[in-house]
Amino acid sequence: MPPEIDFALVLNLHQPAGNLDHLLDHEPWEARQILWALDRIPRSLWPHEDHARVHLALSGTLLETLASPGFQERAYGTVDCGSLLWHLQNTRTIDVLGTAYYHPVLPLIPPADWDEQLTRWLGIGRHLLGRTEFGGFWPPEMGFRMELIPLLRRLGYRYVLVDSDHAVPVTPMSWPELRYRPHLARFGGAEIVVVVRDRELSDAQESGTDPGWFIDEVRERTRWCDFRPLVTTCTDGDNGGWFRNPAPGANFWSWFHDELLARVAGGDGGGVRPTFIRDHLDRYGAHGEVTVRPGAWNTGWHHGAGFIQWTGSAAQRDALTAVSEVSALLHAAAAEGSDVEAARWRLLRAQTSCNLYWGEAWVDRCHADLAEARRALRARAIAMR
């Protein structure tokens, strides 16, 4: 028998506020593809409940949309969103990861706003997903920096996912150990478990891969492991034709995942065993210490170092400067006892990663929310005089 290899599948699901409504109005086919891609996830897991183990990170804005009665009514002929939210509560096959509500690149926004982004997500996640605790944290865009560790631990997170290109050993370790073993990272007197995403296997997962190739590649990459390896792949789960294509046999679930799970069930999976990260940690723990360089995952032709996807142009950098300015104004007003909620949610929404990702195409959305936040702060200041 081949040695067993734990495989953790992680999918990120995000839609900006109002985007699905906009697509239903202007690009209905795209909207239907996204909704089907979301609905396909729990349905694809039902036949494989003995073996399927999937981690999902759902942004707060996506959850907010799916839970909206108005949107549920609009989407009903395509997907029953209420039933979808119910099916996502299946803890036998799905482990939900905590994340940030408006899907910001956390290292690029003011640290003063981290807590609100994370606690707001916990509120909606607990309300809609039937869980009170979330052991793993998904940093949007895998954007991470070590300063996040104390907050993550205070909010109860056990582990955080990071990209393999940014994990650096503190304890001496081999290449397979760095990628395929959980580690500890420490900052400010707090420590958290770091689970490393395999970048190359994730690229294959995102673009389309064959289950036979995947099994062979995983076995080759872990052949020198003298420990139980944890191979982790992380991609979006609702973007790209590989996940959106509704045709049977032409998407991630019906071509790759069904066959992989059939091989696992039949004893022909090459030792690959889908697992929840929490179960691997319970059984094998974390080993060694790493530090994590600031960075994000790779997207398109961008490698993720320096967050170049969101900071590459003057317009993007100007928007981030404006975010910091409004954040400072808001926190100063809050310290003086002002009710800043009308401005706060606009500021938090302005920080959405999509506002900065598409070059300069969506930067105006960031500035529009910041303008409303400034207006609300001015109106509150006048009212208090």
pLDDT digits (tens, 9 = 90+) for 342-369: 999 999 999 999 999 977 889 999 999 9
- Cα angle 79, 81, 87; round to 5: 105
pLDDT one-digit tens code per residue, 99-144: 999 999 999 999 999 999 999 999 999 999 989 999 999 999 999 9
* Separation of alpha carbons 369 and 159, rounded Å: 32
Tally of structural domains, the chain: 2
Two tokens, residue 385: 């005089």
363 & 239 share domain: no
Q: Is residue 306 part of a domain?
A: no
46 & 99 share domain: yes
Q: Output phi, psi for 96, to 5 deg.
A: -90, 135
Residue 300's pLDDT is: 80
pLDDT one-digit tens code per residue, 140-187: 999 999 999 999 999 999 999 999 999 999 999 999 999 999 999 999
Q: Is residue 304 part of a domain?
A: no
Q: Is residue 297 part of a domain?
A: no
270 & 180 share domain: yes
Q: Is residue 298 part of a domain?
A: no
Indicate the Cα dihedral angle 365, 151, 321, 139, nearest 10°: -50
Q: Is residue 300 part of a domain?
A: no
Indicate the Cα dihedral angle 69, 119, 147, 133, nearest 10°: -100
- Given a cut of 90, is residue 68 above it in pLDDT? yes
120 & 205 share domain: yes
Q: Is residue 305 part of a domain?
A: no
341 & 240 share domain: no
- Computed over every residue of the chain, the mean pLDDT equals 96
Average pLDDT for residues 54-81, to the nearest whole number?
A: 98
48 & 162 share domain: yes
- Given a cut of 90, is residue 301 above it in pLDDT? no
- Given a cut of 70, is residue 1 above it in pLDDT? no
145 & 248 share domain: yes
Q: Is residue 112 part of a domain?
A: yes
102 & 226 share domain: yes
Measured CA to CA in angstroms, residue 208 lies from 6, 211, 249, 279, 362 at distances of 21, 10, 12, 27, 28
Domain membership of residue 353 as a residue range? 312-383
Q: Which residues pair with 186 in a beta bridge?
A: 191
CATH code at position 100: 3.20.110.20
Q: Which residues pair with 161 in a beta bridge?
A: 195
State whether the Cα torsion 217-223-228-229 is positive or negative: negative
* Separation of alpha carbons 15 and 203, rounded Å: 21
